[in-house]
């Protein structure tokens, strides 16, 4: 069965010292649960986080990686670099990267392949803008994003992928998708994976919801059968709130 995955996405917040303080506090209040807890920290904070979380089962991830193994790519971070700091996951194709840094379905697909090749779990972000939702193209668009991200990925490897449905209009806005809206799209995502890889594999893929998830709405969202976890921005920056969401997932 799928184990809930609650992932924090710190975005461009916290210096290494602030990250260390967070992790020290977090490990004190975090209780061992049946939920997988993951922190996706800025690359420069990973070393501090990995030191401060040693001996716990709290996992670490990056927010982005480059698809080439190494080379003249100023400012980029390689998969080997983040793996050396203890990361088992990386977010790929977050809407902020698509919007501000030119990430496309094609680069997302390359990153998914590179991550899987290196044994890293990609958290593939998909989701529609408000305009696209109002135009009524959400389902087609998300289905296409999922297909493009997984293009050429083998059935054996796709099980290692996490897919996060993050409606762009719900990210950082305080406007959460209703449980019904989130469930509808997450079910479509699983149906898309089923169509591509069959029912058994579709059942094993972890699908998250992200977009203003917080302690007050986490339980209802996580109770939906096709929502296996959350990708949490703002509410993952405070250890108390993040723990509350993990505890809510543990009840489901």
Instruction: Give the nearer residue to ligand PGA in terms of CB position, either 95 or 197.
Output: 95
Tell me the closest approach of the beta carbon of residue 200 to ligand PGA, in angstroms. 29
Q: Which of residues 209-248 bind ligand PGA (CB under 6 A)?
A: 210-213, 231-235
Shortest Cβ distance from residue 173 to ligand PGA (Å)? Answer: 7
Distance CA 252, CA 247 (A): 9
State the catalytic residue, choosing from 128, 166, 241, 244.
166
Is position 93 an interface residue for ligand PGA (rule: CB under 6 A)?
no
Stretch that binds ligand PGA, among 15-23, 29-37, 52-60, 205-213 (CB under 6 A): 205-213
# residues near ligand PGA by CB under 6 A: 13
**What angle separates helix 239-251 from helix 16-29, to the nearest 10 degrees?**
40
The smaller minimum CB distance to ligand PGA, of residues 88 and 215, is found at: 215
Binding window for ligand PGA (CB under 6 A); candidates: 74-82, 97-105, 114-122, 208-216? 208-216
Phi, psi of 229 (to 5 degrees): 165, -170
CA atoms of 133 and 123, how far apart (whole Å): 22
Residue 182 binds ligand PGA (CB under 6 A) = no
Q: Which is nearer to ligand PGA, 122 or 234 (CB)?
A: 234
State which of residues 6, 9, 112, 159 lies at the interface with ligand PGA (CB under 6 A): 9
Task: Give yes or no: 113 in active site.
Answer: no
Q: Can 195 be counted among the known catalytic residues? A: no
CA 190 vs. chain centroid, Å, equals 16
Closer to ligand PGA by Cβ: residue 83 or 238: 238
Nearer to ligand PGA, 146 or 231 (CB): 231
Stretch 120-179 residues interacting with ligand PGA (CB under 6 A): 166, 171-172
| Active-site annotation, residues | 94, 166
The site for ligand PGA (CB under 6 A) is made up of 9, 166, 171-172, 210-213, 231-235
């Amino acid at each position: 069965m799928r184990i809930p995955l609650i992932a924090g996405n710190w975005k461009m917040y916290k210096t290494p010292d602030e990250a260390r303080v967070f992790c020290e506090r977090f490990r004190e209040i975090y209780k061992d649960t049946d939920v997988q807890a993951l922190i996706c920290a800025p690359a420069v904070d990973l070393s501090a986080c990995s030191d401060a979380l040693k001996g716990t089962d709290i996992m670490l991830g990056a927010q982005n990686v480059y698809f080439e193994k190494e080379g003249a790519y100023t400012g980029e971070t390689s998969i080997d670099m983040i793996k050396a700091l203890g990361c088992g996951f990386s977010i790929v194709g977050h809407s902020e990267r698509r919007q501000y840094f030119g990430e496309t379905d094609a680069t997302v697909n390359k990153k998914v392949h590179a991550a899987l090749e290196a044994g890293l779990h990609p958290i593939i972000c998909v989701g529609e803008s408000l305009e696209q939702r109002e135009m009524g193209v959400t389902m087609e668009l998300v289905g296409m994003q999922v297909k493009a991200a997984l293009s050429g990925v083998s059935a054996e490897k796709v099980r290692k992928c996490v897919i996060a449905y993050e409606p762009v209009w719900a990210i950082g806005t305080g406007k959460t998708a209703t449980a019904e809206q989130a469930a509808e799209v997450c079910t479509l995502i699983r149906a898309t994976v089923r169509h591509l890889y069959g029912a058994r594999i579709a059942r094993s893929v972890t699908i998250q919801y992200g977009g203003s998830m917080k302690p007050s709405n986490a339980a209802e969202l996580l109770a939906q059968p096709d929502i296996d976890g959350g990708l949490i921005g703002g509410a993952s920056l405070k250890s108390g709130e993040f723990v509350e969401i993990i505890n809510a997932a543990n009840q489901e």
